[in-house]
Amino acid sequence: MSTVCYTQEGAVGVVTVDRPKALNALNSEVLDELRRTFEAIDLETVRCVVVTGAGEKSFVAGADIGEMSSLTRAEGEAFGKKGNDLFRMIETFPIPVIAAVNGYALGGGCELALCCDIRICSENAQFGQPEVGLGITPGFGGTQRLVRAVGPGRAKEMIYTARSIKAEDALRAGLVNAVYPLAELMPAAMKLAGNIAKNAPIAVRACKKAINEGTQLDMDSAVALEEKLFGSCFETEDQREGMQAFLEKRKVEGFKNR
């Protein structure tokens, strides 16, 4: 692929948007290659994914304005659906996805980060939805996920003013979990991903499903969903090994993902 790179380190997959000369802006080619990359991830061996951008300036600086500038109404709606379908796929991906935000995360870049399970960023990161300054709305889920991440008041201020916020403000707002010097960002992301990957994969997947789906349900339905997922874990070898190791006061010898 020409715009997306994929590598695997142990049980961690790393997806890198690779258009540094364009600040990793999202065009149709990038969206298509991101989809194909995620579809090709081996869920038998990969237990966590890290998404980042190439270079030191930008995670993803937004969608490609050159491509969008001449779209018709129907074409604009279709482009929005392409991005939304991809980001929804990432949001509901069976295993956790971490955004390692190394610089600008604007427009579609902020929306890409928002569809990930966990966000960490470098000190030079900036987040924003500048679309109204271009005469459009956010199109890849920004009006929905930003509200859920930071609350309606903060989200509306960011979207209506088109102003970006810096890393420390993003941390205070709860948009990111941690801020690191740029050189330490990827090591921190890989360490976090490794800590997730060492746990029982089926249980981690069940937790993601419970959280993602449960937040859309009333409490009675949500805890019923959790009960079913909790029960399903008792059919796994990993549950038996995890509890046996605890009872025998030893470390787990290695979860088998079955």
Asked if residue 58 lies in contact with residue 103, where contact means CB atoms within 8 angstroms, the answer is yes
According to the model, what pLDDT value does residue 66 have?
87
Residue 181 tokens, joined? 């010097």
Burial per residue of 154-184, b for 16 or more beta-carbon CB atoms within 10 angstroms, e otherwise: bbeebbeeeebbebeebbebebbeebbeeee
Beta-carbon contacts of 240 under 8 Å, excluding residues fewer than 6 positions away, are: none
According to the model, what pLDDT value does residue 35 have?
98
Residue 224 tokens, joined? 């019923």
Cα 15 from Cα 113, distance rounded (Å)? 13
pLDDT in tens, 65-124: 888 899 999 999 999 999 999 999 999 999 999 999 999 999 999 999 999 999 999 999
Cα 130 from Cα 219, distance rounded (Å)? 35
Structural domains in the chain, sorted by start: 4-197 (3.90.226.10), 201-247 (1.10.12.10)
Is residue 64 predicted with pLDDT exceeding 90?
Answer: no
Residue 73 tokens, joined? 């109404």
Indicate which residue of 33, 75, 111, 184 is catalytic.
111
Indicate which residue of 91, 131, 248, 253 is catalytic.
131
The single-letter DSSP state of residue 45 is T
pLDDT in tens, 179-213: 999 999 999 999 999 999 999 999 999 999 999 99
Catalytic residue list contains 131: yes
Catalytic residue list contains 111: yes
